């Protein structure tokens, strides 16, 4: 199995599959495929039925994943400006990915999900979902805008915009927080909702928030 990044204003990834090799991804992001590549349904069992229904009804994410089996080529694109990164996961290595960022993953990569709770302030962030991927295998991700990454030491924390997180190591922790604009009551009322990621582990950011409208 081989993943090839096809660069450009709207990048994509091309997966080359030998007979019997499979990749999976979200429904509706396939760009094209060779005729011999078969398409099937991969049920998301992670978290159980109730969590899957919650993810669909509240998060707007698909309940089923789509699986493609070779031989042949299949390409994926998220129809957005940005960068594609291919991450190689070793045995039992965990990578947590922001919802709506996966292009495809090899069938050997385990799939799970979890919810990051918001700050629960009225009118503020209600939280978001992350996909939990467990190696071994390859994962192709789409980051909107430019993708930046860094390594965090134990207990080292970085604060970032709520829409900037692309992925993090499973060993790193993420939580929502309020960043006050100065002191006093007004500063707290006008606080900016942010994410705090604490090491150890890798963390990657995207320079464009996919949840905001862009001209």
Secondary structure of the chain: what % helix, strand, coil (to 5)? 5, 55, 40
Domain 2-206 CATH assignment equals 3.90.1150.10: no
Segment 46-61, tens digit of pLDDT: 555 555 555 554 455 5
Task: Give the model's pLDDT for residue 160.
Answer: 93
| % of the chain with per-residue pLDDT over 70 | 81
Span 169-181, average pLDDT: 90
Rounded to two decimals, the pTM is: 0.86
Can you read off the two tokens belonging to residue 19?
Answer: 């007979």
- Checking if the pLDDT of 147 tops 90, the result is yes
Evaluate whether 11 touches 142 at the Cβ level (below 8 Å): yes
Q: What is the rounded CA–CA span in Å between residue 136 and residue 188?
A: 44
Cβ within 8 Å of residue 85, ≥6 positions away:
5, 140, 141, 143, 147, 204
3-class DSSP string for 106-154: ECCCEEEEEEEECCCCCCCCCEEEEEEEECCEEEEEEEECCEEEEEECC
Task: Give the model's pLDDT for residue 57.
Answer: 47
Task: Give the model's pLDDT for residue 156.
Answer: 98
Evaluate whether 103 touches 77 at the Cβ level (below 8 Å): yes
Task: Give the model's pLDDT for residue 64.
Answer: 76
Evaluate whether 111 touches 65 at the Cβ level (below 8 Å): yes
Can you read off the two tokens belonging to residue 39?
Answer: 């398409």
Domain coordinates in residue numbering, the chain:
2-206
Diameter of the chain measured on Cα atoms: 65
Cα torsion angle, 125, 47, 84, 196, sign? positive
User: What 8-state DSSP symbol labels residue 158?
Assistant: E
The better pLDDT of the pair 99, 18 is held by 18
Under the banding of pLDDT at 50, 70 and 90, the label for residue 125 is low
Alpha carbon 80 to its chain centroid, in Å, reads 14
Span 67-76, average pLDDT: 98
Evaluate whether 156 touches 199 at the Cβ level (below 8 Å): yes
């Amino acid at each position: 199995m081989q993943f090839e990044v096809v660069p450009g204003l709207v990048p994509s990834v091309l997966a080359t599959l030998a007979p019997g090799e499979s990749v999976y991804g979200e429904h509706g992001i396939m760009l094209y495929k060779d005729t011999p590549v078969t398409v099937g349904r991969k049920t998301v069992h992670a978290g159980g039925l109730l969590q899957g229904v919650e993810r669909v009804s509240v998060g707007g994410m698909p309940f089923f994943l789509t699986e493609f089996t070779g031989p042949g080529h299949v390409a994926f694109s998220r129809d957005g400006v940005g960068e594609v990164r291919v991450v190689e996961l070793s045995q039992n290595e965990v990578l947590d990915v922001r919802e709506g960022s996966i292009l495809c993953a090899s069938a050997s990569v385990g799939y799970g999900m979890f919810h990051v709770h918001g700050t629960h302030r009225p009118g503020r962030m209600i939280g978001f979902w992350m996909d939990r991927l467990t190696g071994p295998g390859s994962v192709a991700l789409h980051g909107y805008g430019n993708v930046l990454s860094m390594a965090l030491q134990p207990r080292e924390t970085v604060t970032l915009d709520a829409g900037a997180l692309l992925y993090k190591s499973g060993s790193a922790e993420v939580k929502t927080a309020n960043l006050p604009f100065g002191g006093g009551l007004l500063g707290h009322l006008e606080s900016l909702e942010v994410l705090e990621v604490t090491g150890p582990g890798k963390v990657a950011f995207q320079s464009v928030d996919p949840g905001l409208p862009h001209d």
